């Protein structure tokens, strides 16, 4: 019988945690759904087809950091100083949405921030 070391188990558990679907790790589901809705409206305005921007959350730390940099530029431009936790899926999605707004100013102008509060079924 082969016994795994603590380091191997720790790595396997970390992998299992981070490879779980993001939605299962969401702490605030209404906020998550609001963001999905806002992203669909943004992509419809920017690309002509609504899509789920949660699929754009990078699996790599470097990818998430890149989205966060663009998101922080957008937030600075609108004086949004609220803190965000880069480990929370909701805030990772908020980063993707704000980065999309930064990189697609026409779509950002067409869809007001926080529109998810008006989503059907809320």
Question: What percent of the chain is predicted at pLDDT more than 90?
Answer: 78
Res. 8: pLDDT tops 60: no
Mean pLDDT of 63-84: 98
32-36: long-range pairs with CB below 8 Å, 24+: 32/89, 32/90, 32/93, 33/116, 33/119, 33/122, 34/114, 34/116, 34/117, 34/119, 34/122, 35/90, 35/93, 35/94, 35/97, 35/116, 36/93, 36/116
Where do we find the tokens 């720790």? 10
Mean pLDDT (the chain) is 87
Where do we find the tokens 């679907």? 21
Contact between 52 and 40 (Cβ < 8 Å): yes
Question: What percent of the chain is predicted at pLDDT more than 70?
Answer: 82
| pTM reported for the whole predicted model | 0.81
Backbone angles phi, psi at 50, to 5 degrees: -70, 140
Name which residue leads in pLDDT, 35 or 14: 35
**Model confidence pLDDT, tens digit, residues 17-55:** 444 457 788 999 999 999 999 999 999 999 999 999 999
Helix (H) or strand (E) holding 6: helix 6-19
């Amino acid at each position: 019988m082969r016994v795994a070391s603590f380091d191997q188990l720790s790595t396997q558990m970390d992998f299992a945690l981070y490879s779980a679907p993001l939605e299962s790790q969401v702490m605030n589901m209404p906020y998550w759904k609001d963001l999905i809705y806002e992203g669909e409206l943004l992509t419809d305005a920017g690309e002509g087809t609504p899509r789920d921007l949660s699929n754009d959350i990078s699996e790599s730390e470097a990818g998430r950091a890149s989205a966060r940099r663009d998101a922080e530029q957008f937030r600075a431009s609108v004086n949004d100083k609220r803190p965000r936790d880069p480990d929370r899926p909701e805030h990772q999605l908020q980063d993707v949405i704000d980065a999309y707004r930064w990189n697609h100013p026409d779509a950002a102008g067409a869809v007001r921030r926080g529109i998810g509060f008006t989503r059907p079924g809320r």
